Amino acid sequence: MFRKRLVGPRLVAAATACLALAVAGCANNAGGASTQQAGASGGDKVSIMVGGLNKQIYLPFMLAQQLGLYSKYGLDVSLSDEPAGVDATTNMLAGKVDGVGGFYDHTIALQGIGKQAESVVSMLQVPGEVELCRTDLKGQINSAADWNGKNLGITDTGSSTDFLTQYIGQKNGVDPANTHRIGVQAGPTFIAALEHKNIDCGMTTEPTVSQVLQKNDGFILYDTRTAAGAQQAFGGEYPATSLYMSTSYVTAHKSTVQKLVNAYVATLKWIQGHSAAEITAKMPADYYAGSGKDAYIAALDGEKGIYNPTGIMPPDGPKTCLAVLQPNPSVKGKNIDLSKTYTDEFVKAAS
């Protein structure tokens, strides 16, 4: 079944429903997510839902646990996994989790519907997303200009991959209404969608990218694992993975937020000082079971530059994100105050 819906209505409806029903209304959504506890038993308790915990773009969340940094900074952190960032955001709005490991751009979309959230640490300088197309379509699809009528894989409707896919299409003269955007998540479900020709192209990350290329099921159309690739696709730097929380939580729990940011800034610095093989050795084995350890290391080595070495929000990044989100009805025509969508206060204190 094709999904041909825009981002705004889903995010508005999800936010409204969860806020109205509070915990009961979203319990089923969060209940299916796997949860891992990490840190000092007597530390500050924090729950974080990550939009795809085993993706390399979200690696710092688990790496901080593996390095013992949650315990070091006096935290008792529970990490849970939700394949789509938009659903993780919904759980945060409902009070099911304290924060989200997801793309910074969600805080902009939330402000557009009157909900205030902010990124407290920026983990990725570029999205790390790759647009893959089926191998049998090579020569037929040469750019997003060839997307009219095509089935395009995204994580889910309302996800950041949905925002980014719409933008790339519009930039190349294709109205999002003339494409079929289908939620296929990542990993095995994304690969199966390509293999069974349910999608023509799709946006995903490592280690899924390497698995597709190894099997020769697809080719790269756009690659935002480098600054040059992000510039080509989005016209500027596009900060992606962050830890974002509702502004009310940040205001009420500044000490806990500072401890979290301390842990993540330390993690980002550790990444800069270690090789892809050393980083991989710290990760759970099931993180690279699908692609194989060697392929996982190679993929990580090739995109290690995606990680923000400081945690500071790239200065021009929020403006690029806002421009990319313009197809989103939650944002289009709205007066967005970007200064309220992120803060560097905690990162600067950590440094």
Q: What is the pLDDT of residues 168-199, one digit of tens each?
A: 999 999 999 999 999 999 999 999 999 999 99
Helix (H) or strand (E) holding 111: helix 105-112
* Residue-level pLDDT at 85: 60
Given a cut of 60, whether residue 88 has pLDDT beyond it is yes
Q: What is the CATH number that goes with domain 7-126+238-350?
A: 3.40.190.10
The single-letter code of the amino acid at 131 is E
What is the strand order of the sheet 218-223 is part of? 180-183, 151-154, 201-204, 130-134, 218-223
Write down the CATH superfamily of domain 130-234: Periplasmic binding protein-like II (3.40.190.10)
Given a cut of 80, whether residue 25 has pLDDT beyond it is no
Torsion of CA 227, 233, 234, 239, to 10 degrees: -40
DSSP state of 287: G
Query: Mean pLDDT over residues 66-84, rounded?
Result: 93
Rounded CA gap, 326 and 333, in Å?
8
Given a cut of 70, whether residue 7 has pLDDT beyond it is no
Given a cut of 90, whether residue 14 has pLDDT beyond it is no
Domain ranges of the chain: 7-126+238-350, 130-234
Q: DSSP 3-state assignment of 119?
A: strand
Indicate the pTM of the whole model: 0.86
Given a cut of 60, whether residue 202 has pLDDT beyond it is yes
pLDDT, averaged across the chain? 89
Helices and strands: H and E segment counts in the chain: 15, 11
- Give Cα 260 to chain centroid, integer Å: 18
CA distances from 58 to 5, 49, 86, 125, 287 (A): 26, 11, 15, 12, 11
Rounded CA gap, 311 and 264, in Å?
8
Topology alike, domains 7-126+238-350 and 130-234: yes
